[in-house]
Amino acid sequence: MVEIGYYNNHYPPNPHRNKGNRWLVPLLLGVVIGILLVSVALPAVLDSNLVSNQQGNQVADNSSNNGESNPSYMSVDITTQITDIVQQVAPTVVGVTNIQRQNSLWQQQEGTEATEAGTGSGVIYKHDGEHAYIVSNYHVVEGADELEIVLYDDTHVEAELLGGDLFSDLAVLRMDGSAIDQTIEMGTSATIKVGEPAIAIGNPLGHMFAGSVTQGIISGTQRTIPQDFDYDGRADWQAEVIQTDAAINPGNSGGALINMEGQLIGINSMKINQEAVEGIGFSIPIDVARPIIDELEKDGSVTRPFIGVEIYSLDEVPQAEWKETLNLPSEVEGGVYVWSIDPVSPADQAGLERLDVITHLDDVAVLNMIDLRKILYQEKEVGDEVKITYYRDGEKQETTLKLGVQR
């Protein structure tokens, strides 16, 4: 048709009618032949293009099956998957408002004034038919006189605090469940891998940006972050966290870190707040959080076995110091070293000293802080007797202590 149009434009009507008659028949004949050629050739060309496109699609499919990705297809697939996941999960992520009462400075009469002390996020993880249960961060609800939940549709509902735990930075809230018809699906943090996609949902900077979604990857697993609760310059706890580069900002605390199956794998908790640092956020692994959530829901607090030492993973010490400072023999592959001991603690009574290196609990190898905590918090109870194998000045020794209660 383009050629036909082109030829019509190329041959304008001849003003000399007496001379144009002798060209009329050839001209009409040419037009007819052109139409016939186009009508025959065009379907063949279209069929050829269709086959070519189908072959191209087949090649794209085959290359995908062979492990080679096509960026255009991959981009569409991932984007569609993320939007589907967010649509599914977003209603289970809520806002949490910390309301505190204080004496009013503007009123002469006695009384208190309720003010919004802070905001954060939470995740609806359970519904028992009457109540809905929400997990959030302890620092989000700390000091609250009242707690208010802001649902996905901006409905505001009062909630009560069932329990909170400073060390794990977890809290469990309960609210009327009549407005809730969905809970998040729990996943596992045991199988996550560095580099896999992750999605964070929460309320950064308060309810103004409620339900914000950020995407990133898992940047690290089994990270340990020192926490100083009393600000005395000494670590009181080593938090086990997942590292992600999905943006986590103030207000995201207590929100959900989810995998590409739409499952909860972490509770967003903190980030490194330095000008020179970007994209380093932390989330509490759901496998660590679940037993604590259950205990807070049931008892309102967490009871932990207690040794009474400040300890750090041996892999944080340069290898040269293993031999020169700690006098460790070459067969020692890992452990935790004692930095300080609480007076009259189980460790003190068992004779442990500063710079002792613990390598086994009840003959189970302890390579780092995570190993030690897993044994204590998942396999032991308060009051259990535990055999500790340790090295002091290069000499292997053993002692037994009775686990106390973490206060």
Report the amino acid identity of residue 104: S
What does the pLDDT read at residue 316?
84
Closest C-alpha to 135, from 161, 172, 166, 165: 172
Per-residue pLDDT tens for 4-51? 333 333 333 444 444 444 545 455 555 555 555 545 554 554 454 444
DSSP sequence for 244-301: E-S---TT-TT-EEE-TTSEEEEEEEEE---TT--S-EEEEEHHHHHHHHHHHHHHSS
* DSSP summary character for residue 350: T
> Confidence band (pLDDT; 50, 70, 90) for 317?
confident
Look at residue 293 and tell me whether its pLDDT is greater than 70. Answer: yes
List 121, 136, 168, 169, catalytic entry = 169
On whether the CB atoms of residues 113 and 287 are closer than 8 A, the answer is no
The token pair that represents 68 in the structure block: 């080679």
Of 208 and 333, more confident: 333
Q: Whole-number mean pLDDT of the chain? A: 81
Per-residue pLDDT tens for 75-109? 557 778 889 999 999 999 999 999 998 765 555 55
Share of the chain above pLDDT 90, in %: 55
What does the pLDDT read at residue 110?
55
Task: Report the range of poorest mean pLDDT among 98-102, 108-112, 248-252, 316-320.
Answer: 108-112
Phi, psi of 370 (to 5 degrees): -65, -45
What does the pLDDT read at residue 201?
94
What does the pLDDT read at residue 31?
52
The answer to whether domain 90-176 has CATH 2.60.40.1290 is no
Query: Which residues are bridge partners to 165 per DSSP?
Result: 170
What does the pLDDT read at residue 206?
65
CA distance 10 to 7: 5
> Confidence band (pLDDT; 50, 70, 90) for 329?
very high
CA distance 91 to 186: 15
CA distance 375 to 179: 41
Fold of 186-299: Thrombin, subunit H (2.40.10)
What does the pLDDT read at residue 174?
98
What does the pLDDT read at residue 288?
92
Share of the chain above pLDDT 70, in %: 75
Annotated catalytic, 16? no
Residue range 330-350: mean pLDDT, rounded: 94
List 121, 136, 139, 165, catalytic entry = 139
Per-residue pLDDT tens for 144-160? 999 999 998 899 999 99
Taking the CB of residue 176, how many other CB atoms lie within 10 A of it? Answer: 13
**Single pTM value for the model:** 0.66
Per-residue pLDDT tens for 57-79? 443 343 344 444 444 444 557 77
Per-residue pLDDT tens for 217-250? 999 998 888 788 878 776 677 788 999 999 887 7
**Torsion region of 34: left, alpha or beta (phi above 0 gives left; psi -120 to 50 gives alpha):** alpha
List 136, 219, 253, 283, catalytic entry = 253
Annotated catalytic, 139? yes
CATH number of 305-405: 2.30.42.10
Q: 185-186 and 263-271: which strand pairing?
A: parallel
Per-residue pLDDT tens for 357-367? 999 999 999 99
What does the pLDDT read at residue 5?
32
Annotated catalytic, 169? yes
> Confidence band (pLDDT; 50, 70, 90) for 2?
very low
Q: 170-176 and 212-227: which strand pairing?
A: unpaired
Taking the CB of residue 99, how many other CB atoms lie within 10 A of it? Answer: 15
Query: Which residues are bridge partners to 395 per DSSP?
Result: 392
DSSP sequence for 145-191: SEEEEE-TTS-EEEEEEEEEETTTTEEEEEEE-TT----PEE--SSS
Of 260 and 275, more confident: 260
Residue range 289-318: mean pLDDT, rounded: 92
* DSSP summary character for residue 205: T
- Crossing angle of helices 2-10 and 17-65, in 10° steps, is 150
Of 211 and 318, more confident: 318
